[in-house]
Amino acid sequence: MFNPREDVWVHSICDMCFAACGIVAHRKDVVLVKIEGDPDCPASAGKICAKGQAGLIGLYDPARVKVPLKRTNPNKGMGVDPGWQEISWDEAIDILTEKLRKIRQDDPRKLIISSFDQIALSYFIRPVWAIAYGTPNADWVGYFCGNYLHASMYLTNGAFHSDFDLDHCNYVILLGNQQGFMAGLNATVMARKMAEARRRGLRVVVVDPVGTNAAAKADEWLPIRPGTDGAFILSMINVLLNELDCYDRDFLATRTNAPYLVLGDGSYQKEEAGEKPLVWDQKSNRAVPFDQEGIQPALEGSFTVHGEPCRTAFELLREQVKNYPPEKAAAITTIPADTIRRIAKEFGAAARIGSTIMIDDQPLPYRPVAVNIYRGAGAHKHGTHTALAVQVLNMIVGAFYVPGGHRGPNLVGPAGQWQPGATKEGLITPPSAIGHGARYYDFEERVPEDLGLNELFPISTNRSPMYQMNLSQPNEFGLPYQPEALIVCRRNLLMNNTNPEAIAALLKRIPFIATFSTHLDETAEFADLVLPEAFYLERFDLFPNRPSHTMSHATGYFYWGLRQPVVKPIGQARRWIDVMLEVADRLGFLGDVYKMFNVKWGLKDPYKLDPNARYTMNELYDRWTKSLFGAERGIDWFKTHGYYKVRRTPQENYPGPFIKARFPMYFENMLRAKESVSKVAAKLGHKWDTSDYRALLDWKPCPAFENGTPPYDLFVVNFKIPFHALSVTTQNPWLNELAERNPYAYKILINTETAARKGVADGDEIWVESEAGKVKGTAKVTECIHPEVVGIAGVFGSWAEGKPVAKGKGVHFNSLLPLNMERIDPISSGVDSCIRVKVSRAA
């Protein structure tokens, strides 16, 4: 391996974003000279994006951290020189181990781990190492991307993400996302599929305040006022149900809880001696359990059951959305009422309700429409309701897990390895393999013991903003311990959270911080110990393409691959996972880690790990692959062949008709969550806003909607450009060159009319100021943004000395965002990422 005078191509997997595309890397004379897409990978099929190609220059970045560093200056702050001193790995691990030993003996919950490293989060650190160590605080990740979304998906589609069937879809509404335009799940294959679908005639409608990359290529771009997407969707549902009478009656009656009978207090009417909700059977003209065979459930109507009046959930929804006539929604969203009616009509017609299609000789329902949501539409206060409304719209036309429609990734696992479950009410729950714990139907009224405050946000996958709240106000939620150590890898807390000065203040209070870093970034500047992290082209990661979470059906396969080192690590870089396993060994709990691997990875005999043995990473991966695929497919097979692939069956691609669980469009569980959260908050002595826990969907204005007093008269939002991912790519020289040549990447977008009103010309330096902070940048005057909005791309505007390429480039959007309880989604805890600002020319 790594011999001079060799000329080889090596299978590996990109890590420049979460799409995890397969690559082949050309190594010549021990130097990486080219990266291309791996033709054998179902995700990339021989194609790779700009980020993927630019990985090469990132590998050889002279600014990388190459040796362990110890802080000598005890004073910490933004721009304060840490006084780094080079030390050996032995000394570094000694320091780390001793800190962690003392904390574990005292109270292991005092350790926080913050990372967005998908391999570590999925397989090693969060679900195994942290649990074996004993801390629940290993989940301080991002605040924005899908915080409100993932729980909404688990609740409605039983999976982690939102996706749709580009192989058959004819009409898609992209709501604050760019799926199919080099963003989102499996970006490369989705872009290819999108191009094929457009040739076939797929119509794309983008609803977004910013004329994004996707909007520029769409058939129609609807600029919407930020934070109002929910009103738009509820109005579309209103038009479909109450004006057009256009809905999939069979689907709603048999595959959702729309026919369930609901009492006046919002709860289900149930059997007198049982737990099953009742429906009204039109054949027998009486109330019967929802799952009784041979019935014909009524969708509409009012009935008296057990002496109590009740109505169907569908009828309640139908009445609820009458609150959103297009004229009212137009005033909220700025999308004209006739446009809302037209889009709803086009969507309903394109759904072809009642039609079927033959897939592998099987007739399946054919609903070639979808509305797809991601960060832009939901990263607002009340964002959970927006995401749930989107799901209900997909259900209204039956476009749910059938050809052409919405689907979550991999509800049914390969060869039936996993299947969704169902509650006693018959509603879908995620398979344990993809959402253990994400079953949002019963709740615990106990005082939280984790920094995320799990019990105060029981319908959420991630409560990272609460870490910040707890750290900045240590006594606010009565946790019986105070954090004493923070370990960070692949997560830039200062760049990617809210205003960095607030983050800096709380980091200064944590007694010990260790970061595993490729660069001395803004967060590493606050560390006591910096350990050189391996770049992905030097790393060994199994299954970055996670079949359970982020692998789109669009790939056509279930597939498993290996990220393997293409070159030797530069300097003394090591993978942090290896280091953490060594620390576990020194602390005496590596055996517990191995036991957890046996559980987490589902290892079978004879490949189970012996808690008393010691294994190299190669041996661990060899056992895992052999346990899954047999003795002939160990790690060496993957190194040589790249991928093991299994073509998906129709049942795996379109599980809707093949599963029994129903999809909820009425959220009775929210009422129980409300009660539970109220009790937990009361135990903590808090008044808590539980008004979003509603069984029926609603739209409520986020703070920015209501705060438009001049001079803070504009909204600011950020948006994604396809050749950067989070802040980790900003230091890449080639991607920086692309951004410098892109008209929008490093600029502040302002609408032509708005700019004229404020006396701003294209190229002017301008200030954008919110209640939390101010940023300066170059104005890009454009028609490609809503007139009430200014737009800032990505996560630029770095200031760390250790990122010389990124430093000072672009504008740091998050500086404008505060964090407080008024500005989070009360269900998911996602941070509202639009705020009012004033814009002025810089002197």
Where do we find the tokens 């749930």? 388
Q: Examine residue 149 and tell whether it contacts other proteins (CB under 8 A).
A: yes
The window from 87-95, 103-111, 193-201, 819-827 that contacts other proteins (CB under 8 A) reads: 103-111
Going residue by residue from 460 to 489, which x/- string records binding to other proteins, judged by CB under 8 A? -xx-x-------------------------
| Contact between 8 and 558 (Cβ < 8 Å) | no
Q: Rank residues 454 and 730 by Cβ distance to other proteins and give the closer one.
A: 454
Q: Which of residues 58-97 bind other proteins (CB under 8 A)?
A: none
From 208, 159, 201, 203, select the one nearest 183 (Cα to Cα): 208
Query: Which tokens hold the place of 382?
Result: 């009340």
Q: Which is nearer to other proteins, 603 or 714 (CB)?
A: 603
Least Å distance, CB 436 to other proteins, is 5
Q: Which is nearer to other proteins, 159 or 513 (CB)?
A: 159
CB of 189 within 8 A of CB of 555?
yes
Q: Which is nearer to other proteins, 151 or 332 (CB)?
A: 151
Nearer to other proteins, 126 or 645 (CB): 126
For residue 31, give the DSSP letter: E
Q: Which residues contact 719 (CB under 8 A, 6 or more apart)?
A: 208, 210, 212, 376, 791, 792, 793, 794
Reading the block at residue 558, the tokens are: 């279930």
If you count them, how many residues does the chain have? 843
Instruction: Return d(Cα 525, Cα 84) in angstroms, integer.
Output: 9
Amino acid at 374: Y
Report the residue number, 95 or 587, with the smaller CB distance to other proteins. Answer: 587
| CB closer to other proteins, 592 vs 762 | 592
CA dihedral sign, ordered 598, 603, 604, 606: negative
Q: Is position 633 an interface residue for other proteins (rule: CB under 8 A)?
A: no
Nearer to other proteins by Cβ, of 425 and 769: the residue is 425
Residues in region 151-180 near other proteins by CB under 8 A: 151, 154, 160
795 sits near other proteins (criterion: CB under 8 A) = no
513-to-82, 103, 128, 508 alpha-carbon distances in Å: 12, 13, 21, 9
Tell me how far, at minimum, the Cβ of 470 lies from other proteins, in Å: 16
Q: Measure the CA–CA gap between 135 and 130, rounded to whole angstroms.
A: 6
Nearer to other proteins, 320 or 429 (CB): 429
Among 22, 42, 58, 142, binds other proteins (CB under 8 A): 142
Interface residue with other proteins, options 51, 71, 99, 109 (CB under 8 A): 109
CB of 142 to other proteins, least distance (A): 3
Phi/psi at 175 (nearest 5 deg)? -105, 100
Is 130 a residue that touches other proteins (CB under 8 A)?
yes
CB of 215 to other proteins, least distance (A): 23
Distance CA 147, CA 336 (A): 30
Of 384-392, 429-437, 499-507, 745-753, which segment contacts other proteins by CB under 8 A?
A: 429-437
Query: Apex CA 175: angle with CA 172 and CA 179, to 5°?
Result: 65
Asked whether 752 and 781 are in contact (CB, 8 A), the reply is: yes
108 binds other proteins (CB under 8 A): yes
Residue 501 as a binder of other proteins (CB under 8 A): the answer is: no
Q: What is the per-residue binding string for other proteins in 430-449, x denoting contact by CB under 8 A?
A: --x-xxxxxx--x-x-x--x
Alpha-helical regions (H) of 697-743: 703-706, 733-741
Q: Smallest gap, in angstroms, from Cβ of residue 151 to other proteins?
A: 8
180 phi and psi angles, rounded to 5 deg: 95, -5
The yes or no reply on residue 150 touching other proteins (CB under 8 A) is: yes
Pick the closest to residue 516 from 137, 214, 99, 120 (CA basis): 120
Contacts to other proteins from residues 530-559, by CB under 8 A = 548-549
> How near is the Cβ of 814 to other proteins at its closest, in Å?
13
**Minimum distance from CB of 393 to other proteins (Å)?**
22
**Size, binding site for other proteins by CB under 8 A:** 53
> In the set 175, 596, 795, 806, which binds other proteins (CB under 8 A)?
596
Question: Could you tell me the maximum CA-CA distance found in the chain, to the nearest angstrom?
Answer: 87
Q: Taking CB under 8 A as the rule, does residue 378 contact other proteins? A: no
Q: Which is nearer to other proteins, 224 or 388 (CB)?
A: 388
Of 131 and 337, nearer to other proteins (C-beta) is: 131
SS3 658: helix
Task: Give least dist CB 601 to other proteins, A.
Answer: 9
User: Among 599, 631, 682, 842, which residue interacts with other proteins (rule: CB under 8 A)?
Assistant: 599
Is residue 213 a contact point for other proteins (CB under 8 A)? no
- Comparison of 164 and 607: residue with beta carbon closer to other proteins: 607
Nearest to 674 by CA among 684, 688, 685, 660: 688
Distance CA 731, CA 307 (A): 68
416 binds other proteins (CB under 8 A): no
724-783 positions binding other proteins, by CB under 8 A: none
Query: Are 512 and 486 a contacting pair, CB within 8 Å?
Result: yes
CA-to-CA distance for 618 and 634, rounded, in angstroms? 10
User: Which residue, 122 or 212, has its beta carbon nearer to other proteins?
Assistant: 122
Return the DSSP state at 715.
E
- Residue 606: cis peptide before it, omega within 30 degrees of 0: yes
Q: For the chain, first and last CA: distance in Å?
A: 58
Write the single-letter amino acid at 773.
G
Residues that bind other proteins (CB under 8 A): 107-109, 116, 121-122, 126-127, 130-132, 134, 136, 139, 141-147, 149-151, 154, 160, 421, 432, 434-439, 442, 444, 446, 449, 454, 461-462, 464, 548-549, 589, 592, 595-596, 598-599, 602-603, 608
